[in-house]
Chain A
Amino acid sequence: MIRSHVLICGGTGCTSSGSAKLQELFAQYLEENGIADEVKIVQTGCFGLCALGPVVIIYPEGTFYSRVEATDVEEIVKEHLLKGRLVERLVYNDVGGDVEVPKDVMVSLNETGFYKKQVRVALRNCGVINPENIDEYIAMDGYAALGKCLTEYTPEQVVQVITDSGLRGRGGGGFPTGRKWALTAMNKADQKYVVCNADEGDPGAFMDRSVLEGDPHALIEAMAIAGYAIGATQGYVYVRAEYPIAVRRLQIAIDQAREYGLLGKDIFGSGFDYDMEIRLGAGAFVCGEETALMTSIEGNRGEPRPRPPYPAVKGLFGKPTVENNVETFANIPQIILRGADWFASMGTEKSKGTKVFALGGNINNTGLVEIPMGTTLREIVYDIGGGIPGGKQFKAAQTGGPSGGCIPANLIDTEIDYDNLTAIGCMMGSGGLIVMDEDTCMVDIAKFFLEFTVDESCGKCTPCRVGTKRLLEILDKITEGKGTLEDIDRLEELCEYIKANSLCGLGQTAPNPVLSTLRFFRDEYIAHVVDKKCPAGVCKSMLMFKVEADKCIGCGKCVKNCPVDAIQKTDYVAPGHKLPSVAIDTDKCIKCGVCMANCKFGAIIKE
Chain B
Amino acid sequence: MKSLAELAAIREKMKDKVILREGSANKRVVVGMATCGIAAGARPVLNAFVSEINAAGLSGEASVTQTGCIGICQYEPVAEVFEGDTKTTYVKLTPEKVAEIVEKHIKGGQVVQAYTIGNADK
Contact = CB atoms under 8 A, between A and B. Distances in A.
B33 A84 contact: yes
Interface stretch (B43-51, B91-99, B103-111, B114-122): B43-51
A143 B14 CA distance: 14
Contacts of A4: 20, 65
B105 to A, nearest CB: 18
Interface string B77-88: 000000000000
B43 to A, nearest CB: 9
Contact of B68 (A81, A84, A260): A84
A267 B10 contact: no
Contacts of A144: 7, 11
B21 A83 contact: no
Given A1-B47, A3-B47, A138 B11 contact: yes
Where chain B touches its partner, the secondary structure class is helix
B17 A2 contact: yes
A62 B24 CA distance: 11
Contacts of A585: none
Contact of A38 (B31, B35, B50): B50
A128 B19 CA distance: 11
A261 B2 contact: yes
B-side interface size class: 35 or more
Interface in A111-143: 128-129, 135-136, 138-141, 143
Contacts of B35: 83
A268 interface: yes
A60 B50 contact: no
Given A2-B50, A135-B14, A151 B4 contact: yes
A347 B17 CA distance: 34
Given A38-B47, A38-B50, A83-B66, A262 B11 contact: no
A139 B1 contact: no
B1 A135 contact: no
Contacts of B17: 2, 135-136, 139
Interface string A136-171: 101111011001000100000000000000000000
B20 A83 contact: no
A82 interface: yes
Interface in B1-36: 1-4, 7, 10-11, 13-15, 17-18, 20-21, 23, 25, 30-35
A527 to B, nearest CB: 54
Contacts of B89: none
A505 to B, nearest CB: 39
26 contacts: A1-B51, A2-B20, A2-B50, A3-B46, A3-B49, A3-B64, A4-B20, A5-B21, A7-B21, A60-B65, A62-B23, A83-B34, A84-B33, A84-B34, A84-B67, A85-B68, A108-B23, A129-B18, A138-B11, A139-B11, A139-B18, A260-B1, A261-B2, A267-B1, A268-B7, A269-B3
Interface of B: 1-4, 7, 10-11, 13-15, 17-18, 20-21, 23, 25, 30-35, 38, 46-47, 49-51, 54, 63-68
Interface of A: 1-5, 7, 38, 59-62, 81-85, 108, 128-129, 135-136, 138-141, 143-144, 147, 151, 260-262, 266-269
